């Protein structure tokens, strides 16, 4: 390696040209060779040498336990020291990788999804930085990443990688990965409807060497702090990640000292291969077949739209083909596009969390999956469009995979988990930003995001607001803690509203509403970025209904703290009562979709929203009438639902079931179905239309059309999609108002 320190300006011309040609690449952008390959790397010659000599399973099991304990230990260290509200709710993970970057082992708790998608940056660092003398990889280095184009889920996450050396050679990598939140984007918290370009997304951290000799570099740390709204949180979390990495590195070296480096290297690789081979074996076990699901993202986050995402899973032998063609074209100036790597990640997480719960979460388990896409669509977007809300399409593929494998496994001889309906699948959290009561600048997310409801199972109801679709061991945080740190109170906290679950033989879990009321004089505001306000977001299974829709509602123009103090009887901690009864005079009541752009709210204004329910399982008429009455008593459903949908007859005062009348009512509902149902041919002739409805812009394939609909831009083949640039809804409104004004001002005859 050339380590000359001479100023290149003094070199001779030929040396300069040679150096230029060998060293200069215009831009080390995201590398498609890396980013579009989710497969396990081939064995290195060292791994080959070690593993071909034979494997001691007992020894490897011992190493696995030891390293797992280290990951859980470091997870705890980080969890107890982080400042990011999401990471405090366990929205983080720690992991060990092979030298090539394949995830071998992740912490038991937290969100393994982070570590699952981090082979990309490790491969990038090794490919481009290892031999670059201005960067290099040395013992005690730490690389920080947040830009999703180089790996990871989305840019509000930040991950610190540390190489683990033995005798001057990289033998492994460790990472502490977490949702940081505030990254200096156009809107607080790094996500939001108003992000319209990649340049609104804040810090675009390609892998940066932030740590040398086990210490954070003050100049870079200062730059990071200076680039975001939460400089203290940024510093605290960088330190927390570094502490975790230092401990992981130390534990790995202890294992190397104890078991020998070959055993540790051999274990890391063999664990990856085990996951890869076991995934393939389980797929080979399944009957071949194809399962299709289509979802609609119903909001670009600025305007209503119907963006189809098409998911077709085909099992053939020991392979799975995931075909995403037919999905909506990417939107140039809206944040709901996703990278292919994000979709791949969604499948891996789902398999590990919902289908093969006994398997570790790693990319290796879906090594036998291949993905087919139309590049330039929201399931595989280009690098030119914003991806700040890529979790929208990612959560969709998670539910698609969940439902696809529920169906594929139902008829299979061997299963690994219970069949269940769709988990709730939207980031239904309020994002806040501004100045706190402690005079700190801030911008982050309420832990309520994690309060997603579970889908109904084949033999029991789903759980209420239990955990996010992407991680089982995650918390929603304490309201009181948030109130201490931030200038709002939870005026409504975790109240379940009737109907917020998928109905069925077994119902999906219900989900809660909550309302934040601004407290204090400082500038502070809220936003939301959730789909599913027009069209349900998650689905039921085998006749079970979907979750309902929801929205954001607000009471503005009045300080409700004064109302609470002077006329407490007028304030009911219930969204429905507040909005339907409108007891507070002179206040503005309004409802919106769950994609609400960031705005400041003065003291005493109320911002309310809801988490989403889980999908139902099976025919509603199969539900035990006693369970229907229990739902009524618990406020999970309305009387009309119990009587008309579930067909249960009961005394409305005592809730005593009339069994005979219930049987009769259910019989009559069955008869009614036979009367109103029509045959396939009649349905196709009378209900199916050649074009999508004109009421809302439609994006994607319609009835398997080859051309993709492009909303207001007509339709086009996937290879010739027009750039879809949508106007600012405010401009549209201004134009409409101007036209109206002109028509009113026009001279009348």
Residues 561-600 that bind other proteins (CB under 8 A): 575-576, 579-580, 589-593
* Positions of E strands within 34-168: 92-98, 103-106, 142-145, 157-166
CB 560 within 8 A of CB 606: yes
Of residues 161, 356, 601, 617, which one binds other proteins by CB under 8 A?
617
Closest C-alpha to 614, from 446, 429, 407, 451: 451
- If the CB atoms of residues 634 and 691 are measured against other proteins, the closer one turns out to be 691
State the SS3 of 373-385.
CCCCECCECCCCC
- If the CB atoms of residues 627 and 696 are measured against other proteins, the closer one turns out to be 696
Please, what is the minimum distance in Å from the beta carbon of residue 694 to other proteins? 10
Of residues 54, 413, 568, 714, which one binds other proteins by CB under 8 A?
413
Of residues 564, 570, 645, 716, which one binds other proteins by CB under 8 A?
645
Please, what is the minimum distance in Å from the beta carbon of residue 490 to other proteins? 19
User: d(Cα 538, Cα 298) in Å, to the nearest integer?
Assistant: 12
Of residues 536, 604, 647, 718, which one binds other proteins by CB under 8 A?
536
Residues 6+ apart with CB under 8 A from 65: none
- If the CB atoms of residues 220 and 645 are measured against other proteins, the closer one turns out to be 645
Looking only at residues 24 through 83 of this chain, which bind other proteins when binding is defined by CB under 8 A?
Answer: none
Q: Does residue 392 touch other proteins according to CB under 8 A?
A: no
Closest C-alpha to 206, from 155, 240, 242: 155
- If the CB atoms of residues 173 and 311 are measured against other proteins, the closer one turns out to be 311
Helix segments in 208-320, DSSP class H? 218-226, 231-259, 261-285
- If the CB atoms of residues 203 and 708 are measured against other proteins, the closer one turns out to be 708
Of residues 167, 676, 720, 744, which one binds other proteins by CB under 8 A?
676
Q: Does residue 688 touch other proteins according to CB under 8 A?
A: yes
CB 335 within 8 A of CB 387: yes
The CA-atom distances, in angstroms, between 507 and each of 456, 459, 543, 610, 646 are 5, 10, 11, 18, 11
Looking only at residues 421 through 480 of this chain, which bind other proteins when binding is defined by CB under 8 A?
Answer: 458-459
| Structure tokens that stand for 61 in this block | 């099991």
Strand partners, 610: 513
**Is 150 strand, coil or helix?**
helix
Please, what is the minimum distance in Å from the beta carbon of residue 554 to other proteins? 11
- Find the part of the chain contacting other proteins (CB under 8 A) among 35-43, 188-196, 198-206, 640-648: 640-648
Of residues 185, 546, 597, 642, which one binds other proteins by CB under 8 A?
546
Please, what is the minimum distance in Å from the beta carbon of residue 349 to other proteins? 22
DSSP state string for 118-160:
-HHHHHHIIIIITT-TTT---TT-EEEE--GGGSSS-TTEEEE
User: d(Cα 739, Cα 716) in Å, to the nearest integer?
Assistant: 31
Of residues 97, 129, 332, 497, which one binds other proteins by CB under 8 A?
497
Quickly tell me which residue has 């596009």 as its tokens.
337
Looking only at residues 143 through 182 of this chain, which bind other proteins when binding is defined by CB under 8 A?
Answer: none
User: d(Cα 163, Cα 161) in Å, to the nearest integer?
Assistant: 7
- If the CB atoms of residues 454 and 551 are measured against other proteins, the closer one turns out to be 551
User: d(Cα 253, Cα 432) in Å, to the nearest integer?
Assistant: 42
Please, what is the minimum distance in Å from the beta carbon of residue 628 to other proteins? 15
Of residues 415, 495, 558, 630, which one binds other proteins by CB under 8 A?
415
Helix segments in 362-444, DSSP class H? 391-410
Q: Does residue 689 touch other proteins according to CB under 8 A?
A: yes
Please, what is the minimum distance in Å from the beta carbon of residue 382 to other proteins? 26
Closest C-alpha to 264, from 4, 67, 43: 67
Q: Does residue 610 touch other proteins according to CB under 8 A?
A: yes
Phi, psi of 504 (to 5 degrees): 170, -175
* Positions of E strands within 317-372: 319-323, 369-372
Please, what is the minimum distance in Å from the beta carbon of residue 627 to other proteins? 16
Q: Does residue 508 touch other proteins according to CB under 8 A?
A: no
Rg (alpha carbons) of the chain, rounded to whole number: 27
* Positions of E strands within 686-742: 698-700, 708-710, 715-716
Phi, psi of 307 (to 5 degrees): -105, 110
Helix segments in 464-522, DSSP class H? 479-485
Of residues 549, 571, 642, 646, which one binds other proteins by CB under 8 A?
549
Quickly tell me which residue has 């989710």 as its tokens.
38
Q: Does residue 677 touch other proteins according to CB under 8 A?
A: yes
Q: Does residue 539 touch other proteins according to CB under 8 A?
A: yes
**Binding residues for other proteins, total number by CB under 8 A:** 94
Please, what is the minimum distance in Å from the beta carbon of residue 49 to other proteins? 38
Our measurement of the distance from residue 732's CA atom to the centroid of its chain's CA atoms, rounded to an integer in Å, reads: 31
- If the CB atoms of residues 30 and 193 are measured against other proteins, the closer one turns out to be 193
Please, what is the minimum distance in Å from the beta carbon of residue 281 to other proteins? 14
CB 514 within 8 A of CB 493: yes
Q: Does residue 358 touch other proteins according to CB under 8 A?
A: no
Q: Does residue 321 touch other proteins according to CB under 8 A?
A: no
- Find the part of the chain contacting other proteins (CB under 8 A) among 265-273, 466-474, 516-524, 672-680: 672-680
- Find the part of the chain contacting other proteins (CB under 8 A) among 51-59, 89-97, 337-345, 698-706: 698-706
Please, what is the minimum distance in Å from the beta carbon of residue 139 to other proteins? 49
Of residues 696, 707, 716, 723, which one binds other proteins by CB under 8 A?
696
Of residues 152, 184, 548, 711, which one binds other proteins by CB under 8 A?
548
CB 338 within 8 A of CB 394: yes
Looking only at residues 286 through 315 of this chain, which bind other proteins when binding is defined by CB under 8 A?
Answer: 286-294, 296, 298, 304, 306
């Amino acid at each position: 390696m050339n380590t000359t320190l001479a100023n290149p300006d003094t070199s001779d011309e030929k040396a300069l040209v040679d150096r230029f040609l060998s060293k200069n690449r215009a831009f080390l952008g995201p590398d498609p060779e890396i980013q579009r390959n989710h497969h396990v790397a081939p064995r290195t010659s060292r791994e080959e040498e070690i593993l071909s000599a034979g494997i001691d399973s007992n020894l490897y099991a011992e190493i696995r336990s030891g390293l797992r304990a280290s990951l859980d230990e470091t997870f705890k260290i980080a969890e107890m020291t982080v400042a990011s509200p999401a990471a405090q709710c366990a929205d983080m993970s720690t992991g060990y990788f092979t030298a090539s970057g394949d995830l071998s082992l992740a912490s038991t708790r937290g969100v393994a999804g982070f570590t699952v998608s981090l082979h990309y940056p490790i491969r990038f660092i090794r490919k481009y930085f290892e031999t670059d003398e201005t960067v290099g990889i040395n013992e005690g280095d730490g690389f920080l990443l947040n830009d999703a184009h180089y790996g990871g889920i989305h840019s509000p996450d930040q991950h610190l990688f540390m190489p683990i050396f033995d005798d001057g050679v990289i033998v492994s990598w460790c990472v502490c990965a977490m949702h940081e939140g505030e990254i200096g984007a156009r809107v607080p918290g790094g996500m939001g409807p108003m992000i319209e370009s990649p340049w609104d997304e804040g810090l675009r951290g390609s892998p940066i060497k932030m740590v040398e000799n086990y210490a954070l570099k003050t100049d870079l740390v200062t730059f990071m702090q200076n680039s975001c709204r939460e400089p203290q949180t940024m510093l605290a979390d960088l330190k927390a990640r570094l502490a975790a990495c230092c401990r992981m590195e130390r534990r790995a070296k202890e294992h190397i000292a104890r078991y020998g480096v070959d055993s540790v290297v051999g274990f890391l690789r063999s664990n990856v291969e085990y996951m890869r081979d076991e995934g393939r074996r389980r797929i080979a076990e399944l009957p071949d077949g194809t399962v299709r699901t289509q979802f609609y993202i119903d909001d670009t986050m600025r305007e209503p739209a119907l963006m189809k995402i098409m998911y077709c899973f085909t099992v053939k032998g020991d392979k799975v083909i995931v075909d995403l063609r037919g999905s909506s074209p990417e939107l140039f100036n809206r944040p709901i596009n996703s990278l292919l790597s994000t979709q791949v990640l969604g499948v891996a997480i789902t398999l590990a969390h919902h289908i093969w719960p006994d398997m570790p979460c790693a990319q290796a388990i879906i090594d036998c999956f291949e993905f087919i896409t139309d590049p330039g669509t929201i399931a595989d977007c280009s690098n030119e469009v914003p991806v700040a809300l890529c979790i929208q399409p990612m959560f969709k593929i998670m539910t698609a995979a969940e439902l696809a494998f529920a169906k594929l496994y139902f008829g299979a001889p061997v299963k690994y988990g219970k069949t269940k309906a769709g988990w709730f699948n939207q980031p239904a959290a309020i994002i806040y930003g501004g100045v706190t009561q402690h005079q700190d600048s801030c911008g982050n997310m309420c832990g309520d995001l994690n309060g997603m409801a579970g889908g109904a199972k084949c033999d029991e109801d789903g759980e209420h607001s239990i955990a996010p679709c992407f991680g089982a061991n995650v918390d929603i945080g304490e309201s009181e803690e948030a109130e201490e740190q931030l200038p709002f109170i939870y005026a409504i906290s975790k109240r379940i509203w009737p109907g917020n679950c998928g109905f069925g033989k077994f119902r999906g879990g219900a989900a809660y509403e909550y309302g934040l009321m601004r407290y204090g004089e400082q500038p502070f505001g809220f936003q939301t970025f959730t789909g599913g306000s027009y069209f349900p977001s998650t689905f039921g299974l085998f006749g079970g209904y979907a979750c309902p829709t929801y929205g954001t509602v607000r009471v503005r123009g009045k300080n409700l703290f004064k109302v609470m103090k002077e006329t407490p009887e007028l304030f009911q901690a219930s969204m429905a009562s507040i909005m339907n009864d409108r007891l507070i005079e002179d206040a503005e009541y309004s409802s919106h979709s769950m994609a609400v752009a960031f705005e400041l709210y003065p003291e005493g204004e109320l911002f309310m929203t809801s988490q989403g329910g889980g999908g139902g399982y099976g025919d509603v008429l199969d539900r035990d009438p006693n369970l229907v009455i229990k739902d009524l008593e618990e406020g999970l459903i309305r009387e009309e639902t119990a009587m008309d949908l579930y067909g249960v007859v009961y005394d409305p005062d005592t809730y005593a079931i009339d069994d005979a009348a219930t049987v009769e009512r259910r019989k009559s509902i069955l008869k009614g179905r036979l009367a109103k149902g029509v045959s396939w041919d009649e349905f196709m002739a009378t209900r199916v239309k050649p074009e999508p409805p004109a009421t809302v812009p439609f994006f994607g394939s319609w009835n398997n059309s080859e051309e993709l609909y492009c909303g207001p831009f007509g339709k086009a083949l996937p290879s010739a999609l027009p750039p879809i640039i949508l106007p600012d809804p405010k401009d549209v409104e201004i134009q409409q108002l101007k036209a109206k004004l002109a028509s009113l001002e026009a001279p009348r005859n």
